[in-house]
Amino acid sequence: MAYSRDKSTAFSKTPFIQCGDKIIQLKEAVIMGILNITPDSFHDGGRYDTKEKYLQRVGQMLEEGAEIIDIGAVSTRPGAKEISLKEETDRLVPALKAITSAFPRAILSVDTYRAEIAHIAAENGAGMINDISGGRMDAGMFKTVAGTGLPYVMMHMQGTPQTMQKNPVYKDLIGEIREYFSSSIETAMNEGISQLILDPGFGFGKTLEQNYAILNHLEQLRIGPHPLLVGVSRKSMIYKLLNSSPEEALHGTAVLHTLALLNGADILRVHDVKEAVQVRKLVGFYHNQGNLNSITADTP
């Protein structure tokens, strides 16, 4: 990745990510659309359980402006049941083959914490690996990803999906997450991973208040040239605060996506691509109108 970052604005940077034979330019925030091919994900579990359904959904997200499609074949919601390697493989591989055949220029990320799945994903067209555990649930993950040459999303999580929301405690929330990233980045790069993306892990071992503290101090989690990914779409930090549900959390999600972009997010991982693209356009226009001298008296 190459960077030229002016901290005066979240949009004055010219990075790129190499995803196999495809490149993602990060001149503006990138939208990563979520495709869960699981029966039990917290918002859309079971909606895309056939080839026809997930191909239609991928096509829709690409048409709406998603630059990356993040495919999950195992649910990592709080308390989710762990599934076998075979079950994850059996869900993932046919979907990867079908999607890469139907959309050969699409950039696909695979959401997994298993090194063997990462290897299989790379062999079947994936251009990115997204690991909720940051390599801590499979000791072979860093070496495997390094061997693929693909970019790696390193997320922070306290505990596991089965335990992470049982009273998460931090003495220094931002400091501990920074230390986690610093240590893990060094290990990953020593193993040979050259492209890293950092995800602070909203909802993964954090209280509602801690999630908002992270969002408020997001730029403090920027370490070196590594892009920041934010995944808050329809999560409980929105709907619990509003006493609603994931299905009613679209407007709240748009608000938090706005805050994330204003606070320095480089990638938004979203369920609702069209709305996220609209947020990106509005925030980008807001930034570009920062010079009052450019606004004339007859501007509507």
Tell me which residues are annotated as active site.
235, 269
Burial (0-12, 13-18, 19+ Cβ within 10 Å), 63 = exposed
* Among 80, 57, 115, residue whose Cα is nearest residue 273: 57
Contact status, residue 93 vs residue 120, Cβ threshold 8 Å: yes
Burial (0-12, 13-18, 19+ Cβ within 10 Å), 223 = middle
Contact status, residue 8 vs residue 259, Cβ threshold 8 Å: no
Instruction: Write out the H or E segment, with its range, that includes residue 36.
Output: strand 30-36
CA-to-CA distance for 40 and 76, rounded, in angstroms? Answer: 9
